[in-house]
Amino acid sequence: MSGGTEQRERLPSALDGGYFRVDETRFEQLAAASARLAAHLRLHEVDEQGSSAHATWADFFRADELLVMAMMLDYDPQPAQDTLFGDFGATSSIRLAAETVRLASVIDRWLQTLRAIDAPGAHTLAGAISALIEKQLAGELQWVARHALAPGWRGDIKGYELQRLDASWFDARASAPPERGRTGRDGLRSRFFAFKDGVARIQGLVREQLAATRTSQRHDPAAGLFIAFLELFGTVQERVNRFTARHTDFYYHDVLDMRPRRARPDRIHVVCEPVAGASLDVLLARGTAFAAGFDANRQPIEFLAESDLAVTDIKVAALRTVRLATANMVLGDDRTAYPVKRVRVDAPMPAADAPAGSAQRYWPLFGGAQAHGTETVVDGELGLAVASPLLWLKEGQRDIAVRLVFRALQTPGHEASELWSRMGDADDRVRWQLERALPELFAISLTTATGWYEATEAFVSRPGEPVGAALDCLEITVRLGPDAPAITGCAAALHGAQWNTGQPLMCIRVRQQAALCAYSLLENKELLEVEVDVRVRGARDITLGNNAGRLDPSKPFMPFGPLPAKGSYLVFGSAEAARKPLTGLRLHVDWSGLPQELGGFPEYYDGYDSEFTNAGFRGAVSVLQDGEWRTAPDGATGQSLFTQRPGGRLESCSVIEVSPSALRAHFKPAAMGTDGFAYDLTSRNGFFRLELRKPDAAFGHAEYSQVLTRVVSANARRKKPLALPRPPYTPTIERATLDYEARARIHLHQQDAAAPVFHLHPFGVEQLRSAGRATPITLLPAWPQDGNLYIGLSGEAVQGGLSLLFELRSESAVPRARRSAKLHWAYLASNRWCELAAAQVLGDSTDGFLTSGIVRLDIPGAIDRNNTVMPAHLYWLRLSADADFDAFAGLYSVRAQALSAVRSAASPMPLEYTVLPAGSVTGPAASIPGLARVTQVGNSFGMRPEENLQQLRVRTGERLKHKNRALLPWDYERLVLERFPAVFKVRCFPNLRSPDAIRSPGDVLVVVVPQLGSVDQLKNVRGPRLNAVELLRIADYLRALAPPQARIEVRNASYELIQVRCAIEWATGAHAGYGIRRLNQALFDYLSPWNDNGYRANFEWTIRPEDLEARIRELDFVRGVSQVSLLHVASSDDNVYSLGDTARPGMPQARFTNGPVRFRWPWSIAVPMRRHLIGSIEAAEPTGPVPTGIDRLEIGNTFVVGAAR
């Protein structure tokens, strides 16, 4: 099976211009061949004595460094290796030793020749060869002599030419070779390859010096002439060797008439801003030019607007998100999971119109938890608020009960809301669990003179008694003790300016962190009415008066005056109670100076003519109704003013109760003015009168003088005087308090403006009115969709066309094929969200918010700023989705006044793919009055340079083979690479399905690896990825060319991270810290799939620790390495991570076998971590790998938390 195809692998070698060469000899081959020929050509010259000397032309080639280097490069030890190891069993040790010595002779001959040449390049190479001999090769050669040759080897063995070797080969100070534990033939084999590698290293040094030597201009004239001849011969060679290319070009160009594809210009997004305070809009016509600087040839770059734009003062001033996050709540004996929702909110940008380049941070488009950085999403404020005169509660023991009456709306499949109905089942365990959670559903706060008061004693219950057919209710009870502050009216400065009321407020906020989230239970409940009950005990702020005038309740007072008579009265009332629809009222009085006699009043009034009894003092309570005193029929006889204890003594406390029937018949709440609450001739309602009705003698004040005169006169005539009558009791009240109950019903369909009900929204409030409302009023605010992005616009007039640039992080998006979400646009008008029709969305280049683009809207004139559900100083738009929120691109910013521009035809296109960085365009090419600034947002996109000759050959050759049809994996891969140059590598998996890796006939999985834009892309565990739009385009392109039965899926490759752990003995003089950095970079480059010299981007890959160990040993700053092991971190598409360690017991590899690391998913490639675990040791010993402990793991990288078992 194919391992995939890279862009650089597309050109078949047969189509390469150098595949077939008539003359394939290279410069060094020509020079070496000339030198060999020259060795057979005699040179006759006469010396100074006149004798003839015989020599050859070979000395000519040994006198020039360039020609010597060419001969060094032409040497190839491979034939000797093939001869020795083609049949290694038949090769003798003597022959192995001889070939090793022959390699030493070649190297020594190079050294001697270079030493004889006075040139910088020759000196450099000679020094490098001498160092190599001294540090390694001399010791290897001496080992060969000791173990493979006879004792008299130096002088006795012929053919090895050992006598000609330089003395440095036999220097006793040469470094001894490392003992590899091999002797005999294996040792000789190892030494042969050591010398062969030495030759290769020397030839590598020669290649580095060759280019500089060819242009050094220090050659002997004769040698220079010969070198020039070889260069000219190479020119002729090139002309002859164009046979393949000319043949290919003839067939493609002349026969098939193939032509290079034209260039596709790139595009940019720009945002325009008018001059502040401009009275007229600025009109940018289509074709308006924007300057983008100059290219490398100093040619101006211009972009032309692709559409008209009227630049106004509209700006994006705020962004908000609301996300209804779903989690499961497990209830019941069967552990059923019910989905419940929490309302999560965020403010994605501190300043939504931030300058270009500053939006490095991104947010989920429709809100929710962030996968990066600092978490800013919080629970949104949500609930209900009731404003009512009943909540004026100044003092005393105060109980508030708010009963919410509702009925369930028909929402099929709403499992969590259907739980509410199960609370009526007495045998249901779910009911028991729900009732336990009810008290924690809400947090209650009330308005006070210092701000919001959080009630600590609040209870939530579900009353058992029915409230009507198909109706249900929820009761919230709040208890305020005497120490709690007074509940006052709402003040904008203290409680917020969003409340359109001066009445006291009770806010019922959902506790979203509670065990049972109220939103899911109650979101589909239609609110019908709100019933508010208050009960006050011990209110002392009472207004009092009697026949004589106003009384002061703060000190003892005489309710019926100093001389009470029948018909005397006490007027009492409370400003707090007077404004409420009372259902009960009681006046508690503490009498002062009551008779203490055992019999009470009969004993006290002994001697009076009238009969006085404890129950005989009666007063009648009447109610002031429209300026007239009204008494209920059942209250005509009045009620006793005093209470008698068992035994006849009087209680000091009495209760004067206003008859409930009188309250129902006559009490009307009083309108509170600004002049205070007092009883006078203008009073109409709100007061009560206690009139003394019995006895006729009242308290005996009129009778007392007569009785006293009679008794005194009688005593004057009697020897035994009669007891003087006691002075009449003048009723005196030491202390008076008021108890009352009040109840009001707020019907939502006929709501009283004095008692409004509000929804608490995350960013504002909404007064609930049924008039003009198309949907039922729900108990809690409702969102048609679970994901919402709110866009706040500042400016004077939003109506009409509006262009919004969405700068998105497309790497986090998922193609539409995996999404079922529908998008909805709406605008806010007078607290009502109105959907935009499809025709009002004029354009959307974001491809469903998968990539950055411009959305053009036609905003109706009904939009306004008369809103309280969102901040009122802005116009608001809402973008909503109902599912697949994580499939959309991340949001960087939203900007108004945007348009797209395309590169002008007059601006030259680059030959290679380039990107115009963000911010390159800063203004129009010509000044435009009223236009203050133009900002390019994001890099340019969409460029495709003109096709060059090689690309044309590749495309044509592939087209001839696949015939523009996708049938074989080869076809799929080439089609993708040709159409989408951003793809670095592609692999086609037939009959495979993602993400479960199941074999499925008919499925075609195409996995793409993008080009690496920068190394920083590897810092993200997800690695470089194509955005969802590109994946979608690839899939659509392939479906058009594939059989209709093929089910094609295109996905990004997943990346499995590899971390190397090892211990290093550094070479002499190497600094450990610097060495660790160099080795870390070397390992990163070796493992990077985008590096030609490493493992490359392979699917179904295997990485062996021994390969990495060999690579480490090749580095010149490393002397030894041990304890090599690999950590392997893989993740699934669902972000489930796994960690492997080749050194850990229990892994598939044994501890000391240190086996290879293999892929976990067939569509994955291995990438290196940015940091490897590299330690330093004094001496590298062959020890096994050590498992990586938890202290060496890194959070966010290799620290993986496993699931509980």
Backbone Cα Rg of the chain:
50
Q: The pTM is what?
A: 0.76
The helix/strand/coil state of 1029 is: helix
Contacts (Cβ under 8 Å, ≥6 apart) of 637: 618, 620, 693
- Dist. CA 495–CA 485, nearest whole Å: 15
Per-residue pLDDT tens over the stretch 409-432: 776 555 555 666 666 555 566 666
> Phi then psi for 246, rounded to 5 degrees?
-65, -35
- Dist. CA 460–CA 464, nearest whole Å: 13
Q: What share of the chain is helix, strand, coil (3-state, %, to 5)?
A: 25, 30, 45
Max CA pair span of the chain: 198
Per-residue pLDDT tens over the stretch 220-241: 888 888 888 888 988 888 888 8
Q: By CB neighbour count within 10 A (0-12 exposed, 13-18 middle, 19+ buried), where does 267 fall?
A: middle
Amino acid type, 88: F
- 815 Cα distance to chain centroid: 18
Tokens of 653: 């406390």
Which pairs from 1106-1113 meet CB under 8 Å and 24+ separation? 1106/1154, 1108/1060, 1108/1062, 1108/1083, 1109/1062, 1111/1082, 1111/1083, 1111/1086, 1112/1062, 1112/1064, 1112/1079, 1112/1082, 1112/1083
- Dist. CA 794–CA 312, nearest whole Å: 11
- Dist. CA 302–CA 654, nearest whole Å: 95
- Dist. CA 139–CA 100, nearest whole Å: 13
Question: Beta partners for 591?
Answer: 733
Instruction: Report whether the peptide linkage leading into residue 756 is cis, meaning its omega lies within 30 degrees of zero.
Output: no
pLDDT value of position 571: 95
pLDDT value of position 357: 43
* CB contact at 8 A, 274 and 281: yes
Taking CA atoms, 267 is separated from 457, 916, 1026, in Å, by 63, 9, 19
pLDDT value of position 351: 43
The domain locations on the chain are 32-57, 62-217, 267-312+900-941, 315-375+785-896, 383-537+743-767, 559-730, 962-1052, 1055-1192
Query: Which residue do the tokens 């670095």 mark?
Result: 984
pLDDT value of position 758: 92
| Residues of the chain with confidence (pLDDT) below 50 | 152-160, 181, 350-359, 373, 1021, 1147-1153, 1191, 1195-1196, 1199, 1201-1205
Eight-class DSSP state of 464: S
Mean pLDDT of the chain: 83
- Dist. CA 1130–CA 1163, nearest whole Å: 12
- 184-214 vs 93-115: helix axis angle to the nearest 10? 20
Query: Which residue do the tokens 């491979």 mark?
Result: 78
> Phi then psi for 571, rounded to 5 degrees?
-95, 130
Q: By CB neighbour count within 10 A (0-12 exposed, 13-18 middle, 19+ buried), where does 1034 fall?
A: buried
Eight-class DSSP state of 868: S
Tokens of 60: 């000519």
The helix/strand/coil state of 243 is: helix
* CB contact at 8 A, 322 and 788: yes
Eight-class DSSP state of 944: B
Tokens of 576: 């707090």
Which pairs from 607-610 meet CB under 8 Å and 24+ separation? 607/707, 607/711, 607/722, 607/723, 607/725, 607/726, 608/697, 608/700, 608/703, 608/704, 608/707, 608/725, 609/703, 609/706, 609/707, 610/695, 610/696, 610/697, 610/700, 610/703
The helix/strand/coil state of 371 is: coil
* Domain 962-1052 in CATH 3.30.300: yes
Q: Which of 1034, 835, 851 is nearest to 938 (CA)?
A: 851
Count H helices, E strands: the chain? 24, 52
The helix/strand/coil state of 984 is: strand
The helix/strand/coil state of 681 is: coil
The helix/strand/coil state of 160 is: coil
Q: Which of 135, 1, 117 is nearest to 64 (CA)?
A: 117
Tokens of 889: 């691109």
Taking CA atoms, 546 is separated from 552, 574, 626, 736, in Å, by 11, 15, 19, 15
Sheet holding 923-924, edge to edge: 923-924, 289-294, 300-305, 898-903, 267-274, 931-941
Q: What is the DSSP string of 580-614?
A: S-EEEEEEEEEEES---STT-HHHHTTT-SS---T
- Dist. CA 605–CA 699, nearest whole Å: 9
- Dist. CA 854–CA 865, nearest whole Å: 24
The helix/strand/coil state of 1056 is: strand
- Dist. CA 673–CA 670, nearest whole Å: 9
- Dist. CA 347–CA 320, nearest whole Å: 5
H or E element at residue 45: strand 42-46
